[in-house]
C-alpha cells in the first residue's frame, strides 16, 4: 500500500488512481493529519502530492517536522510536495518569476533507480512558479530542465526523491515508468491490488459487519447503487433489500426501467416505494434549487426510513472521492452540491454501527470495473449519471406536474436520438433543461408563446470538470426540430456551450 499525502493538488486523486492502476492499493490523507494516521496500515512508500499554492503564500500547507521525522519509508515528492520536502529539510525554495507551465524537456544527469528505463532526454509536464534553488545537504541533482535546475533530485541514504514535474499526468512522457520505478524498484511493492480480491474481501466484511441483520440499500438505477445492490446480494443473499423510491421527478419510463433492470435482469428482490405525489406536494411553490435539493433529500429519508425496522442496517453508495473531499486541505469543497450521505439521521445510525458503505474505498471507474466483474450488463453500467434531485433541478423554477410532463417528453426525444447516434459513446452526460423563459414563435399561421428548452451534453471523465460536447449540427438540428414539433409547450431550443468550470453540468 502507498499513502499519498495531499497538499491540495487537482491531481491528487489522479496519483491515487494511477498507483491503483499499476496494481498497488493507495490511500489519500491530508497533509494536516497526524503522523500516526498517515502511516496507518504500514505503507511501503509515501508520495507527497502537488498543491495549488506557493510555499510563501499565507496559510500555505507545510510538511510538518513530526511527520518528516517519522517517514522511514521511501518518499517521493511531486511538484509542491517536492518543494515542501526540500524546504522542510533545509533546502531553499525561491519564488519564481514567470514560472514554467506545460511541456518542458528534461535531461538526465545521473543513473538512478527512479530513472531506470527512462531516456536521457524527454518531455514532461510542468506546472509551477516557485522552484527549488538550493538542495538540502545530502541531496543530488539527477535531472534538469532549461528553467528548472532541480527537476529530479534524490537522497539515496534517506530514500527520498523529488520531482518538479507531474509524472501522473498523461502528457509526461514515461510518467508511468517513473511511478513504476518508485513503486516496484524502490518501495518493493507488488502488483497485488485486484478488484476481484476486493470483491471477495468486501463480501466477507459485509457478512461480518451485518451479522445476520437485514441490509436496506437505496437504489436509483444508477451505476453506484446498482453495483452496491448486486454486491450486497452476493454477500448476504436475501438479507439485502434494495429499496427504490419513486420521487416523482424521474425521467419518462424510469420506474419501469429500474424495476426491469434490477428485478428481472439482475434478479434482485426490489421494493418500490411510490412517493411521487408525496414529493410533488412538498415541492409545490418552491423555486430555490438548494431548497428543492433539501426537500427531496429530507423526504427521501422520511419515506426510506419508514422501511427501516428493528436493527436493520443501512447501506450507502458513498465513493472514495466523497470521503476524501472532507479531509482535503481545503476542507469540504465549496457547497455546490449538498451531500445527503451525512445528514443527522444517518449520523445517528453510523454511531450505532448500522451503516455499511461498501464502495467507500473505490473511485468511480473502479466501481464500473467491479460491476463488470459482477457481470452486470454493460448498458446498465454505461448509464448517464442522474442526480438525486432528478428533474426537479432541470425544471428551473417551480416544479409542477405540467412542467415535468413537458420536460419528460423533450428529454425522451433527446435520449432516444443520442442513443441511436454514434455520439453516444463520447457524451458523458446529456439532458434537457426546461427554462422559466417563454419565447415567441410562429407555427403554421399562428403566433406561439411557449417555453424555451436548453440541451446540455458534456464530455467528462469524472464530472469534476467537463467540456460541452461538439455534437454534429445535423444531430442537434434533428433533436431541436423533433422537440419543437412533437412537444406541446416548447417552441424554441438552445444548446448550452458552457464548460465546467466556469459553469456546472446541471443548471441548478
148 near ligand XMP, judged by CB under 6 A: no
The span of 125-133, 311-319, 365-373, 497-505 binding ligand XMP (CB under 6 A) equals: 497-505
171 a catalytic residue? no
- The minimum distance between CB 297 and ligand XMP, in angstroms, equals 8
| CA atoms of 216 and 233, how far apart (whole Å) | 11
Q: Which one of 50, 275, 371, 387 is in contact with ligand XMP (CB under 6 A)?
A: 387
- Work out the angle at residue 152's Cα, subtended by the Cα atoms of residues 151 and 153, and round it to the nearest 5 degrees: 125
Q: Residue 38 or 223: which CB sits closer to ligand XMP?
A: 223
Q: How many residues bind ligand XMP (CB under 6 A)?
A: 13
The span of 119-127, 371-379, 383-391, 408-416 binding ligand XMP (CB under 6 A) equals: 383-391
The sheet with strand 75-78 has its strands ordered as: 26-30, 2-6, 45-48, 75-78, 160-163, 152-155, 140-144, 100-108, 121-128
Catalytic-role residue among 100, 168, 252, 299: 168
Q: Which one of 58, 211, 306, 336 is in contact with ligand XMP (CB under 6 A)?
A: 336
The sheet with strand 240-246 has its strands ordered as: 271-274, 240-246, 215-219, 313-315, 355-356
| CA atoms of 403 and 75, how far apart (whole Å) | 57
The span of 13-21, 141-149, 351-359, 381-389 binding ligand XMP (CB under 6 A) equals: 381-389
- The minimum distance between CB 319 and ligand XMP, in angstroms, equals 11
Q: Which residue has the cell 518569476?
A: 97
Reading the block at residue 52, the C-alpha cell is 495549488
| CA atoms of 217 and 235, how far apart (whole Å) | 13
388 near ligand XMP, judged by CB under 6 A: yes
Site string for ligand XMP, 292-331 (x = CB under 6 A): -x--------------------------------------
Q: Which residue has the cell 425522451?
A: 412
Q: Which one of 319, 389, 395, 434 is in contact with ligand XMP (CB under 6 A)?
A: 389
Residues 455-494 interacting with ligand XMP (rule: CB under 6 A):
463
| CA atoms of 107 and 119, how far apart (whole Å) | 9
| CA atoms of 433 and 12, how far apart (whole Å) | 33
94 a catalytic residue? no
Helical spans, DSSP H, in 332-376: 344-351, 364-373
The span of 14-22, 27-35, 39-47, 387-395 binding ligand XMP (CB under 6 A) equals: 387-395
Closest to 79 measured CA to CA, from 107, 118, 48, 35: 48
Site string for ligand XMP, 170-189 (x = CB under 6 A): --------------------
166 a catalytic residue? yes
* Residues labelled catalytic: 79, 166, 168
Contact residues for ligand XMP, defined by CB under 6 A: 293, 336-337, 385, 387-389, 429, 463, 500, 504-506
Amino acid at each position: 500500500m502507498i499513502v499519498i499525502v495531499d497538499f491540495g493538488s487537482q491531481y491528487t486523486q489522479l496519483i491515487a488512481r494511477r498507483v491503483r492502476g499499476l496494481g498497488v492499493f493507495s490511500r489519500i490523507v491530508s497533509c494536516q493529519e497526524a503522523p500516526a494516521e498517515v502511516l496507518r496500515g504500514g505503507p511501503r512508500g509515501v508520495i507527497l502530492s502537488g498543491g495549488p499554492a506557493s510555499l510563501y503564500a499565507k496559510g500555505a500547507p507545510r510538511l510538518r517536522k513530526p511527520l518528516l521525522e517519522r517517514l522511514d519509508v521511501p518518499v517521493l515528492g511531486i511538484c509542491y510536495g517536492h518543494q515542501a520536502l526540500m524546504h522542510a529539510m533545509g533546502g531553499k525554495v525561491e519564488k519564481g518569476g514567470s514560472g514554467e507551465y506545460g511541456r518542458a524537456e528534461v535531461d538526465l544527469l545521473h543513473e538512478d533507480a527512479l530513472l531506470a528505463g527512462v531516456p536521457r532526454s524527454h518531455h514532461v509536464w510542468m506546472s509551477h512558479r516557485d522552484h527549488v534553488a538550493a538542495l538540502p545537504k545530502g541531496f543530488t541533482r539527477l535531472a534538469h530542465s532549461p528553467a528548472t535546475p532541480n527537476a529530479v533530485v534524490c537522497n539515496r541514504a534517506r530514500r527520498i526523491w523529488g520531482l518538479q514535474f507531474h509524472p501522473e499526468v498523461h502528457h509526461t512522457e514515461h510518467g508511468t515508468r517513473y511511478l513504476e520505478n518508485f513503486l516496484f524498484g524502490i518501495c518493493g511493492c507488488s502488483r497485488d491490488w485486484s478488484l476481484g480480491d476486493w470483491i471477495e474481501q468486501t463480501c466477507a466484511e459485509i457478512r461480518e459487519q451485518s451479522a445476520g441483520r437485514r441490509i436496506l440499500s437505496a437504489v436509483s438505477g444508477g451505476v453506484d447503487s446498482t453495483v452496491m445492490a448486486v454486491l450486497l446480494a452476493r454477500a448476504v443473499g436475501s438479507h439485502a433489500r434494495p429499496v427504490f423510491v419513486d420521487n416523482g421527478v424521474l425521467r419518462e419510463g424510469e420506474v419501469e426501467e429500474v424495476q426491469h433492470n434490477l428485478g428481472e435482469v439482475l434478479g434482485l428482490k426490489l421494493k418500490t416505494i411510490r412517493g411521487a405525489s408525496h414529493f410533488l406536494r412538498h415541492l409545490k411553490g418552491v423555486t430555490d434549487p438548494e431548497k428543492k435539493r433539501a426537500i427531496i433529500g429530507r423526504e427521501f429519508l422520511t419515506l426510506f426510513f419508514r422501511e427501516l425496522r428493528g436493527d436493520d442496517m443501512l447501506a450507502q453508495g458513498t465513493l472514495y472521492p466523497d470521503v476524501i473531499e472532507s479531509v482535503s486541505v481545503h476542507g469540504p469543497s465549496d457547497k455546490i452540491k449538498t451531500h445527503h450521505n451525512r445528514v443527522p439521521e444517518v449520523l445517528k445510525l453510523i454511531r450505532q454501527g448500522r451503516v455499511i458503505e461498501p464502495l467507500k474505498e473505490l473511485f468511480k471507474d473502479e466501481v464500473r470495473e467491479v460491476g463488470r466483474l459482477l457481470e452486470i450488463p454493460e448498458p446498465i453500467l454505461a448509464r448517464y449519471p442522474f442526480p438525486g434531485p432528478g428533474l426537479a433541478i432541470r425544471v428551473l423554477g417551480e416544479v409542477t406536474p405540467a412542467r415535468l410532463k413537458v420536460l419528460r417528453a423533450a428529454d425522451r426525444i433527446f435520449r432516444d436520438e443520442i442513443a441511436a447516434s454514434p455520439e453516444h459513446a463520447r457524451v458523458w452526460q446529456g439532458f434537457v433543461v426546461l427554462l422559466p423563459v417563454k419565447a415567441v414563435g410562429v407555427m403554421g399561421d399562428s403566433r406561439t408563446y411557449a417555453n424555451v428548452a436548453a440541451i446540455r451534453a458534456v464530455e467528462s471523465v469524472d464530472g469534476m470538470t467537463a467540456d460541452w460536447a461538439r455534437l454534429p449540427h445535423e444531430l442537434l438540428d434533428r433533436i431541436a426540430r423533433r422537440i419543437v414539433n412533437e412537444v406541446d409547450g416548447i417552441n424554441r431550443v438552445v444548446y448550452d456551450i458552457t464548460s465546467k468550470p466556469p459553469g456546472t453540468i446541471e443548471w441548478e
